[in-house]
Amino acid sequence: MDVSPNAGSAATAQAKLEKESPALPPDSASSPSLSTRSVVPEDSSPARASNITASIADAGATGRSEVLSPERDRMESRLLAEVIAADKPILGICRGIQLINACLGGTLWQDLPTEHPSDIEHHMKPPYDAFGHTVSLTPGTPLAGLFAGQSEIAVNSYHHQAVREPAPGLEVMATAPDGVIEAIWRPASRFLWAVQWHPEFLYRVDPRSQAIFDSFVSAMYR
């Protein structure tokens, strides 16, 4: 769940915090509240991506070769629950939208090419600061308000899992031409947005991507 607009700076921050802070066991009952500790922005670059495990996603395994990290899933699920309970701003990116939806009771497409095949390229090749497809904005949602006057925007794309059925309390903000959900939000939260694409790779070339991060930062001061 990347909340950093710069993947490189996230990696630097992670290295610094790993050096200065003790590791937190993912399932330790005696561990202090995760939301009170320093939270490391994770690098969501494709090279470091991992899939949401089938048990959390409430789905069967696909049988394809997958990069999984159950400990990461457990830690992030616990962290997400605490941050939502504290009503702190959240911006989920790629894996982040999938984790948020699964943890709140939604379901995922485990593998789009086999479960929801289409002509849309959801797993583009580098460079990632380029556009892969468009998404249609849902009228009346915060994302549509942010990009007033636009019914669709161009995004990049690097994923094979995706939101299938939104969790209770989550609403769709954008969809791809093939119907894949590309952005969600939670009206009951002060700020909980999540997008399937990677604005952290586009913000230098696309002002709309920077606007998403600006909205997230502004929410921290409200």
Catalytic site residue 103?
A: no
Phi and psi (nearest 5°) for 107?
Answer: -120, 165
Q: How many CB atoms lie within 10 A of CB 135?
A: 23
Q: Among 122, 159, 160, 198, which one carries the catalytic annotation?
A: 198
Catalytic site residue 200?
A: yes
Question: Cα–Cα distances in Å, from 133 out to 40, 156, 197?
Answer: 30, 7, 10
- CA separation for the pair 18, 157 (Å, rounded): 30
- CA separation for the pair 6, 12 (Å, rounded): 10
Catalytic site residue 198?
A: yes
Question: Cα–Cα distances in Å, from 109 out to 1, 133, 155?
Answer: 18, 19, 20
Q: DSSP 3-state helix, strand, coil percentages of the chain (rounded to 5)?
A: 35, 15, 50
Q: Among 42, 94, 133, 182, which one carries the catalytic annotation?
A: 94
DSSP H or E run through 173: strand 171-175
Q: Which residues are catalytic?
A: 94, 198, 200
